[in-house]
Amino acid sequence: MMLEVRDLKTQFLIGGRTGTAVDGVSFSVDEGQTLGIVGESGSGKSITALSILRLLPRPFARNAGGEVLFRGVDLLKLNDKQMRRYRGHHISMVLQDPMTALNPVLTIGDQIEEAIRMHRKLPRAEVRRLAIEMLELLRVPAAARRLASYPHEFSGGMRQRVVGAIALACQPELLIADEPTTALDATVQDQYLRLLKRIQRDRSLAIIFITHDLAVVARMCDRVAVMYAGRVVERAPTAALFAQARHPYTQALLRSALPEIPDRNARLYSIEGAPPSIFQPRHGCPFAARCEHVMPRCREEAPPDIEMGQGHAASCWLLA
């Protein structure tokens, strides 16, 4: 297995209080596979990704347990210098907003070339050739000429491609894409996702796709982990999740994304309430306050992870 995350816990220490943002998360992803991580804002998806790459600010954030095994090496045990070698070289990340990932005062060429030079000692001409190759891979027209352009001279879709070129410049084995298409319109999103699929196929790239968009999950992912309140509450092959979601939260997410009645006047279903704060004491099932099936037991004891076979599991007392 390329990446195995086992019982990962991440806490924040803010204003003398300790909050648990990632609470015992486990999943794995192998070469050429795409794992989708879905959930509402604040479910812990992005914090999980940043925890894997150890990019959270210290001392406010800290690892409170678990393992992140990349080809058997626990990334949480590496020193900072060793960890820097893994970032970019083995694992890369693409963020939602390309403008936050790009430096507005450096040319696109400088930024891609810097990413290549950080991990590979190559002659200058070779670095430039690779930078052009990366832009061409991401289908940026007139790549050689566009190296001299600045981020503001690109459209949103093209900027996201440039971010992709930087992320893939060091030929990582695993790409973590955090809502990479949220800021793009439907046509550009479609092109970007096709491109990502093609690159994945050509390079046996593993992808962790973080999104709240279930249509993107259906299209891109082999397996899905549904997160709520810092926990994975259901995991399944994508087809099984869409055919027969077992956790009430997953069912509600699906209902809110796909209205049952195709009535133009019907309001889209939305899940009442909000996820619990990371500082809230944890008793029982974290979804209890919003669950329409809640039972007294749910408020007292956390439900166990129930395996239903073929990689499908969910944490809910209804299944026990």
Phi, psi of 110 (to 5 degrees): -60, -40
Toward ligand SF4, which CB reaches closer, 165 or 224?
224
User: Of the two residues 78 and 318, which places its CB atom closer to ligand SF4 in the complex?
Assistant: 318
Asked if 151 contacts 100 with a C-beta cutoff of 8 angstroms, the reply is no
CA distances from 101 to 85, 111, 185, 219, 268 (A): 19, 10, 19, 25, 33
Our finding on whether 188 is near ligand SF4 (CB under 6 A) is no
Find the DSSP H helices in 43-120.
45-52, 80-86, 98-101, 108-119
Instruction: Closer to ligand SF4 by CB, 275 or 303: give it.
Output: 303
Note the maximum CA span of the chain.
68
Question: Under the criterion CB under 6 A, does residue 298 sit at the interface with ligand SF4?
Answer: yes
Residue 77 binds ligand SF4, judged by CB under 6 A:
no
With CB under 6 A as the contact rule, the residue among 294, 305, 306, 308 that binds ligand SF4 is: 294
Residue 283 binds to ligand SF4 (criterion: CB under 6 A):
no
Nearest CB to ligand SF4, comparing residues 147 and 226 = 226
Binding to ligand SF4 (CB under 6 A) within 301-320 occurs at 303, 316-318
3-state secondary structure of 70: strand
Q: 106 or 295: whose CB is closer to ligand SF4?
A: 295
Tokens 């991401």, residue? 138
Q: Which is nearer to ligand SF4, 61 or 298 (CB)?
A: 298
E-strand stretches of 184-250: 206-211, 223-228, 231-237
Closer CB to ligand SF4, 127 or 233, in the complex = 233
Is position 228 an interface residue for ligand SF4 (rule: CB under 6 A)? no
- Least Cβ distance, residue 314 to ligand SF4 (angstroms): 8
Question: Which residue in the set 147, 158, 207, 291 belongs to the binding site for ligand SF4 (CB under 6 A)?
Answer: 291
Residue 76 makes contact with ligand SF4 by CB under 6 A: no
Give me the 229-268 binding string for ligand SF4, x by CB under 6 A, dash otherwise: -------------------x--------------------
- In a 3-state reduction of DSSP, which class is residue 283? coil
Cα separations in angstroms, 184 against 156, 189, 193, 199: 7, 6, 11, 19
* Token duo for residue 114: 């810097």
17 is a site residue for ligand SF4 (CB under 6 A): no
SS3 label, residue 10: strand
Q: Is 225 helix (H, G, I), strand (E, B) or coil?
A: strand
Task: List interacting residues with ligand SF4 (CB under 6 A).
Answer: 248, 285, 287-288, 291, 293-295, 298, 303, 316-318
